[in-house]
Amino acid sequence: MSTTRPSSPGTSRRAPVQTTALVVGAAFLLVGVLGFVPGITTDYGSMSGAGHHSGAMLLGVFQVSVLHNLLHLAFGVVGILLSRRPSPAKLFLIGGGVVYLALWVYGLVVSPDGSANFVPLNTADNWLHLVLGLGMVVLGLVMPRRYTRETAPSQHGPTAGGDIQ
């Protein structure tokens, strides 16, 4: 006797890479919103539109500006939209990770007080960008793009079944 059941019409299973991209996108969206919340962002009144002179700090650690927060919001929306299909979800994770690694390198070479630091970036941002970049690339490479027997138990229990590809 089989324990698998056919899935209902309209039911779709998300591949692990899609779920990962969705979670990462939602996290960026949340960070973008929190960057505009006084209290969570310290020195909120000194936030500038862009540039290194913004004194606002997300969680008192990460220097932010209106532009920085808007970039987080946009990145989050892109991640959520691309999480709808496996290949774009993988592209978001790997491509976004490469962007964050490039941003890390940029943050290392640009002067913190220079006009080229327009996002703005501080040392904490730089190291977070390294971790995010490496993490996103690794997740994009290792997360399965298909819902398989190997991924089913971890997502839906040991008796998961249905449209397993």
List the chain pLDDT tens, one digit each, 165 residues: 444 444 444 446 889 999 999 999 999 999 999 999 999 999 988 888 877 778 888 999 998 989 989 999 999 999 999 999 999 999 999 999 999 999 999 989 988 777 787 778 888 989 999 999 999 999 999 998 765 555 454 555 554 444 444
Q: What pLDDT, on the 0 to 100 scale, is given for residue 48?
A: 84
0.75 cut: is pTM over it? Answer: yes
Q: What pLDDT, on the 0 to 100 scale, is given for residue 148?
A: 53
Give every strand in the sheet of 62-63, ordered side by side: 41-42, 57-58, 62-63
Please, which residues bridge with residue 42 across strands?
57
Q: What pLDDT, on the 0 to 100 scale, is given for residue 84?
A: 95
| Rounded Cα distance, 37 and 40, in Å | 6
